[in-house]
Amino acid sequence: MMTLMPNYLAITAERLGKGTPVMVRVVPTAQDLALDMAEAIYDEIESLQATGKNATLIVPVGPIDQFPILAALINERKLDCRRVMFINMDEYLNEDDQWIDENHPLSFRGYMERSFYRLLESSLAPDPSIRVFPDPHDPEAIARQIKQRGGVDATFGGIGINGHIAFNEPPEPGELVGVGAFAGMPTRCLTLSRETRTINSHTVGGDISVIPHRAITVGMCEILGSRKIRLYCNRPWQSAVIRQVLHGPIASTCPSSLIRTHPDAVVTLTKQVAMPPDIRLR
């Protein structure tokens, strides 16, 4: 039986997002995208401070290039972030469902320390108590902290190979999970899909055996509860995924498609990602 290409794969860059509530922005290069993301995080913190509020943000490790830029902006402009809460989306776990060691080369905690917190002037850096990662010993702590802070002001993130956001993997084939149930999923430990482990293995030269099987992730409940959602895509393979997110069915099988139910979601793409995928034998 011939497999037909989904219609959304042919959508042009100019039509991306049309007919949906999601705003689509296009920047020239991955470097431009990193700068744009750093400035967006900076602006969110600064604008809230102008109203007397300290920002509560959910942030990713991937994309990654924005954090050294953000640190430089904070230092240069002397933005006081001591009371800004950064909630990282996720972290890999070992076989005992403990965080992998911070010194592990794949540790998101280690990356944030090296590439962001350590670069900040100590008088401007967030207090260590509000540099948050989801805890496998107490996943519910994220929801409690968010409630204490009066909600999440903005979620920044990327989009995974199977449409996942953070590590909110779609259900396995044959497993039926409705949109409402998926949208309500909280912070939790889970097993990563083979697709996610495979695409993430590009950071280790393609050796999937190095990628952990388990992770803890902030849930769709917390992400969709944010006042703003800002997603960024800079990988060529995201060209097809972003079209499914924006123009395929809103379904748990493509978790990021749920941003189309959110009142303030923006996706920023590089020019290469915005172009339709080139589907042909070479």
Element (H, E) at 182: helix 179-183
pTM for the whole thing? 0.95
Residue 173 or residue 92, greater confidence = 92
pLDDT interval class at 213 (50, 70, 90): very high
* Amino acid letter, 260: R
Element (H, E) at 233: strand 229-233
CA 109 – CA 131 distance, rounded (Å): 10
Q: What is the pLDDT of residues 83-135, one digit of tens each?
A: 999 999 999 999 999 999 999 999 999 999 999 999 999 999 999 999 999 99
Fold of 7-274: Rossmann fold (3.40.50)
CA 68 – CA 170 distance, rounded (Å): 31
Nearest one of 22, 25, 47 to 153, comparing CA atoms: 47
CA 230 – CA 219 distance, rounded (Å): 16
Q: Give pLDDT, residue 2.
A: 45
